[in-house]
Amino acid sequence: MIENYLLEELITFAHEHTLAKTAAALNVTQPTITRGMQKLETMLAVRLFDRQPNRITLTPTGQLAAQEAEQLLTQRRTFVTKIQNYEQSLVTRTVETTLPGPLALLTHLKTVLPNSLRVRQPLIADDQITEHLINRQASFIFSNQEILTAGIESRFIGTENLVVHLQRFMYRANQPSITFAELKGISFVVLSAIGIWKDIIQQAIPDAKFLYQPQRTAFTEITKYSDFPYFSTNFTALAPHQLDSQADDDNRVAIPISDTRAHMPIYVNYLVSNRQSLMPLFKQFEAAWPANLKHTSTS
């Protein structure tokens, strides 16, 4: 069996093109690379390198070998990762999410959830869901994606509903609900890590300005000591740190947004083979799902 370090040397040489650069990239000596290349040729019984007095290059066979080596090394690493993640999943269950809302739910339920449940942050991208489940990097993932394949399925857990907090003396604030179009041209303070909600508000609200804050502490301070409008959802009530800016003397009023895009279905994505063991957790999430926030009257 060809050892991984020999594959790594061949792949690196294909990228670096010289022995000196290959040795430097791998933090070994140049003679070590030379011996490794000779050993690889012997094991494969083919000529991988064209050796000239002052130059060494890959033969066409060597180029193919480097391409195949890269694929093989990736497969081997994936194999190891998958097996290790599976072993870990027998002891702990890891949850990930593409949206911040479910993190508030998990924090709210922390005392009644199994100690073996591990919440991984930060948010992941939608295109990582399938890979993370198949490689068992996550036991289940919260997202707005309903995935139904031979190996992965989804369960609807509840809806996340977007709310805007407007200065109560604005004419727009004196109504039970509001549309994205009615928020045209307003400046908002917004947390940066809000997943797909960022795309939705940017696309749906014409001519708006968004003052993104990467740190929650800065966001909380700005909303607490200014009248800038901001957004929340029905998850906000589950996160005490998000309520700091909603003091009794807050001059803003919370208004539900009526557009369809402001009401996002949330699913848990998981491997079909894990359905039975995960179902009790999912039922806990459904039972604790936060209710919609009602409009606060300005009168």
- Where residue 254 sits, what CATH number does that domain have? 3.40.190.290
Residues 187 and 297 in one domain: yes
Boundary-marking domain end, from 57, 88, 119: 88
Residues 148 and 279 in one domain: yes
Q: How many residues does the chain have?
A: 299
Residues 40 and 148 in one domain: no
Cα dihedral 234, 201, 229, 222 sign: positive
Residues 203 and 296 in one domain: yes
Cis ω for the linkage preceding 122 (within 30 of 0): yes
Residues linked to residue 119 through DSSP beta bridges, in sequence order: 95
| Tens-digit pLDDT profile for residues 138-165 | 999 999 999 999 999 999 999 999 999 9
Residue 123 included in any domain: no
Boundary-marking domain end, from 62, 88, 114: 88
Give the other-Cβ count within 10 Å of 38's Cβ.
Answer: 12
Residues 80 and 148 in one domain: no
Residues 70 and 188 in one domain: no
Range of the domain at 162: 144-299
Residue 74 included in any domain: yes
Residue 120 included in any domain: no
Residues 154 and 286 in one domain: yes
Lowest mean pLDDT among 18-32, 71-85, 109-123: 71-85
Residues 78 and 158 in one domain: no
How far apart, in whole angstroms, are the C-alpha atoms of residue 299 and residue 296? 9
Residues 26 and 150 in one domain: no
pLDDT category, 92, cuts 50, 70, 90? confident
pLDDT category, 295, cuts 50, 70, 90? very low
- Considering the entire predicted model, what is its pTM? 0.69
Q: Which 8-state DSSP code applies to residue 291?
A: P
| Tens-digit pLDDT profile for residues 186-195 | 999 999 999 9
Name the domain count of the chain. 2
Residue 107 included in any domain: no
Residues linked to residue 236 through DSSP beta bridges, in sequence order: none
Residues 176 and 293 in one domain: yes
- Where residue 17 sits, what CATH number does that domain have? 1.10.10.10
Residue 45 included in any domain: yes
Residue 224 included in any domain: yes
Instruction: Please name the residues in contact with 6: beta carbons below 8 A apart, sequence gap of 6 or more.
Output: 36, 39, 40, 43
Rounded to the nearest 10 degrees, how much is the dihedral formed by the CA atoms of 185, 187, 188, 193?
90
Boundary-marking domain end, from 88, 118, 135: 88
- 99 against 82, higher pLDDT: 99
Residue 111 included in any domain: no
Asked whether the beta carbons of 137 and 259 are under 8 A apart, the reply is: no
